[in-house]
Amino acid sequence: MDFTSPLVKDFQLAVNDRFNVMIPIDQIIINETRKEFEGDFTIVLFPFVKLFGKPIEEIGQILGQKLVDDQHFVQGFNVVKGFLNITLSDSFWLDVMDELTENPVIEKSKLKKGKVLVEFASPNTNKPLHLGHIRNILLGWSMSKIYEANGYDVIKTQVINDRGIAICKSMYAWKSWGNGATPESLQVKGDHFVGDFYVLFEKKFQEEYKLWQQSNDAQKLFSQNGQFKDQEEFFKGYKNQYFNEKSKIGNDARKMLLDWEANDESTRQLWMKMNQWVYDGFDTTYHDLGVSFDTTYYESDTYLLGKKAVKTGLDSGVFFKEPDGSVWIDLTDAGMDKKIMLRSDGTSVYITQDIGTAQQRYEDFQVSKMIYTVGDEQDYHFKVLFEVLKRLQEPFADGLYHLSYGMVELPTGKMKSREGTVVDADDIISEVIQEAALLTAERGEISHLSETEKAEIIRKIGLAALKFFIIKVAPKKKMIFDPKDSVDLQGQTGPYIQNAYVRIQSLLRKAAEQNINLNQRNDQNLITFNAYERSLLKQVMQFSDIVRNAAETYDPSIIANFSYQLAKDFHRFYHEVRILNAENADVKVSRLKISKVVGDVLKAAFDLLGIEMPDRM
């Protein structure tokens, strides 16, 4: 609902009436009046000074008076420097309140705007999910919800990297040292179970490598490479080569990869079994986070895609072939480099596969937009990918967006798996819920509820703390995640906002007990709205704009910050103003209506962020 444009229109007419100039609407700057001044909205007059050749204060006086005389919605005004502060009439606010109460908080546009595919999560099967994945998942999920709210059909997807040397390492380790153990037999979550074997492989490999470093063979190699001062440095750099050329278990793992590619029956069986364990584990984490996918792509299916695109590109002259048979694209005229599309042995590289996958998705769903939620270390990759797709003249090429986000770091620095500083997703989820349980018990507010009801509320609170902590930061910024702060339930946090909602539900329950009807308009008795009420209404009526803006800028943090501001203002209102004991029945009803609509908006906003609201806490 757009409430300010009638005011802007009136202002435009007032200017025309008094100065005979028709100012374009988009040149009229209107803001919410800052708290330290009196008024609801402020029009900036500076741009008009030169136009009218009068002192700015006088212009303000003339136009303000005109708006009051019109008797539309303006009740009063004041001019401070070049700012015309306008106070809207109580009847205006009464209308706004009833409009907001009677309509859904988000107007879902009736006409469909098209289909959008959102990719997020996209894990590897050799490691459990960590904090970085959580940020990714929250962003992608939230983006999906935001696009739905803006009238799009959304397809949520992930692409799982289920093949390659990494999973073969886990497979080899399990086969060699696993003794037939399963996640069930060891009571370990599947993704962790497989991840542990990956780690075990690395450990065994390191042992083997260390041992080899003492050998004559190794020492000879080291002394032949005179540019290295110390052994440690040399062997660090030699590690990959050792793995590929000399390592026994490296060789065995690579043999597995070849077997896999040759479709060897037993290797494929093992691969399927272990990946299934991982997927079961991932599903648990996704479930805990409250997210799901409409479809999943697997790299084992898609990694060969894109070769056809290479042929098409060659035919149309977008790509070119080197004498050795490799295929390239030259993007130097677009400020990028040359990029390989196909290796000289004819196999695909990462980008080939992405081209094929994009085409496949378009074929599958005919989407007009695709949003890739991937960390900012791949900014360049996506820049190249999108440019290539454009040059291939794909019909979807204009609807591609890389939702890039910054790395999640700890107060101590980057997470490093080698140093064991990676924050595991499952761990942090359970930690934050435990903390919520502790503090909820201390409070005692819900102690009368059943255990399952309590657990449910506690889960919502804990997850809200974690999720809000992450989603409130603008995506493109890297963020510092302090586990200590993330379990905070006070101040600028998810639970703070939930608490505002819970207070509102409590009010509404009591109002229902008193049989107060909130569905009727008050046409008889005009009430005076105080500053708290006006502020709440102003924010609530901006919600649709906020949601649109979040979609346009691909930024859920806008909604998070909006929610916080609204909750904060509600808490203040709640503290300063009597609601159920208001001075008369009309005021009571209007305050309840405002509270209800604030609650509805908070809940809708949190839903867009993937955060649930409890009714009590």
Partner RNA sequence: GGUCCCGUAGCUCAGCUGGAUAGAGCAACAGAUUUCUAAUCUGUGGGUCUCAGGUUCGAAUCCUGACGGGAUCACCA
Site for RNA in 8-67 (CB under 7 A): 29, 31, 33-34, 36-37, 39, 42, 44, 46-47
Q: Can you read off the two tokens belonging to residue 372?
A: 């890739």
Closest CA to 593 of 98, 88, 89: 98
Give whichever of 349 and 397 is closer to RNA, judged by the CB atom. 349
Residues in a beta bridge with 339 = 329
Across-strand partners of 88?
A: 74
Amino acid at 79: V
Q: Give CA torsion, residues 126, 129, 132, 136, to 10 deg.
A: 110
Alpha-carbon distance of 269 to 282, in angstroms, equals 20
Which among 97-105, 360-368, 490-498, 527-535 is the span making contact with RNA, rule CB under 7 A? Answer: 490-498
Nearer to RNA, 443 or 521 (CB): 443
CA distances (Å), origin 149, targets 108, 341, 470, 536, 553: 6, 38, 21, 22, 15
Q: Are 126 and 409 in contact (CB under 8 A)?
A: no
Q: Name the residue nearer to RNA (CB basis): 13 or 474.
A: 474
Nearest to 149 by CA among 546, 597, 471: 546
> Which range binds RNA by CB under 7 A, 3-11, 104-112, 280-288, 568-576?
568-576
Looking at residues 499 to 528 of the shown chain, list those that interact with RNA (rule: CB under 7 A).
Answer: 499, 502-503, 505-507, 510
The piece of 12-20, 77-85, 108-116, 258-266 that touches RNA (CB under 7 A) is 77-85
d(CA 408, CA 134): 10
Site string for RNA, 100-139 (x = CB under 7 A): ----------------------------------------
> What does residue 341 show for φ and ψ, rounded to 5 degrees?
-110, -30
Token digits of residue 369: 């937009």
**Is position 474 an interface residue for RNA (rule: CB under 7 A)?**
yes
Angle at 102 between CA 100 and CA 104, to 5 degrees: 70
User: Does position 310 bind RNA by CB under 7 A?
Assistant: no
445 binds RNA (CB under 7 A): yes
Stretch that binds RNA, among 99-107, 137-145, 388-396, 469-477 (CB under 7 A): 469-477
Binder among 212, 228, 350, 401 for RNA (CB under 7 A): 350
**What minimum distance in Å lies between the beta carbon of 308 and RNA?**
18
Q: Is residue 440 a contact point for RNA (CB under 7 A)?
A: yes
476 exposure class (CB count in 10 Å sphere: 0-12, 13-18, 19+): middle
Establish if 419 lies at the interface with RNA (CB under 7 A): no
Q: Is position 439 an interface residue for RNA (rule: CB under 7 A)?
A: yes
Binding of RNA at residue 378 (CB under 7 A)? yes
Among positions 297, 574, 600, 606, the unique one binding RNA when judged by CB under 7 A: 574
Residues 142-161 that bind RNA (CB under 7 A): 161
88 is a contact residue toward RNA (CB under 7 A): no
Q: Which residue has the tokens 């260390």?
A: 210
Nearer to RNA among residue 34 and residue 210 (C-beta): 34
**Residue 23 structure tokens:** 């100012």
Determine which residue in the list 326, 360, 368, 522 makes contact with RNA, applying CB under 7 A.
Answer: 326
For RNA, how many residues bind (rule: CB under 7 A)?
Answer: 92
3-class secondary-structure state, position 317: coil
**Alpha-carbon distance 256 to 266, whole Å?**
10
d(CA 439, CA 436): 5
Residues 200-239 vs RNA: string with x where CB under 7 A?
Answer: ----------------------------------------
Q: How far is the CB of 223 from RNA (least distance, A)?
A: 27
488: contact with RNA by CB under 7 A: yes
Question: Closer CB to RNA, residue 229 or residue 575?
Answer: 575
Burial 28-56 (b: 16+ CB within 10 A, else e): bebeebeeeeebbbbbebeebeeebeeeb
Residue 161 Cβ vs RNA, minimum distance, rounded to whole Å? 5
Asked if 603 contacts 570 with a C-beta cutoff of 8 angstroms, the reply is no
Q: Where are the beta strands (DSSP E) in 69-189?
A: 74-80, 83-88, 115-119, 153-160
Residues 266-305, interacting with RNA (CB under 7 A):
299
Q: Does 394 bind RNA (CB under 7 A)?
A: no
Q: Considering only residues 154, 291, 309, 479, which one is a binding residue for RNA as defined by CB under 7 A?
A: 479
Nearer to RNA, 130 or 472 (CB): 472
C-alpha–C-alpha distance, residues 552 and 533, integer Å: 29
612 binds RNA (CB under 7 A): no
* Interacting span for RNA (CB under 7 A) from 362-370, 371-379, 421-429, 599-607: 371-379
84 touches 18 (CB < 8 A): no
Quote the radius of gyration of the chain (alpha carbons, Å).
31
Which residue, 154 or 329, is less far from RNA as judged by CB? 329
Candidates 219, 430, 491, 512; binder of RNA (CB under 7 A) is 491
Candidate ranges 93-101, 219-227, 251-259, 320-328; the one touching RNA (CB under 7 A): 320-328
Number of C-beta neighbours around residue 260 at 10 A: 20
Under the binding rule (CB under 7 A), the answer on residue 478 touching RNA is yes
